[in-house]
Amino acid sequence: MRIGELSRRTGVSPRLLRYYEEQGLLHSERDANGYRKYRPDAVGHVGRIRELLGAGMTTGTIRTLLPCAQGGPGLHTCAHSARVLEDQLARVEEQMAELRRRKRALLGVAETMQARRREDEALARAALKSF
């Protein structure tokens, strides 16, 4: 199938399909006229790429996992895929911890701002009463 059909069947733009190809995630052959030609299994392949991207993986990481992602959804269990997924999960946990820390810091700033506003309002009321 040509890139337009692959795009229609996957919902992924031709430009993004070409990018996947540049990144070594997707492969095509060329017709005599130079048009890209994809095998029928490219639809599932693009689906797996999108699944892994949606999980937050980089194209570089996905490139290393694609040999473990053949023949259906998900990944085949192998030492490499298990290690990569463990690393990805650890990275997400670190990011979540950092986001929790930032949330606490922002809540502290908001609390300080509210306390300062209450003080300012109390001072303004006291000043108005003195007139």
pLDDT of residue 72: 58
User: What CA–CA distances, in Å, run from 59 to 38, 49, 120?
Assistant: 20, 8, 52
Structure tokens at 125: 């009321």
- Is the pLDDT score of 70 beyond 80? no
Tell me which residue of 115, 61, 53 sits closest to 123, measured CA to CA. Answer: 115
Structure tokens at 128: 């108005």
Start-to-end C-alpha separation, the chain: 83
Average pLDDT, the chain: 91
Helix (H) / strand (E) containing 37: strand 36-37
Q: How many CB atoms lie within 10 A of CB 45?
A: 20
Cα 124 from Cα 130, distance rounded (Å)? 10
pTM: 0.71
pLDDT of residue 73: 60
Cα 52 from Cα 97, distance rounded (Å)? 22
DSSP 3-state helix, strand, coil percentages of the chain (rounded to 5)? 70, 5, 25
pLDDT-derived band at 109 (thresholds 50, 70, 90) equals: very high
Whether the Cβ atoms of residue 35 and residue 2 lie closer than 8 Å to each other: yes
pLDDT of residue 20: 97
pLDDT-derived band at 79 (thresholds 50, 70, 90) equals: confident
Mean pLDDT (whole number) for 123-128? 89
Q: In the chain, what percentage of residues exceed pLDDT 90?
A: 70
- Is the pLDDT score of 115 beyond 90? yes
pLDDT of residue 74: 61
Angle (CA) 121 127 131, round 5°: 145
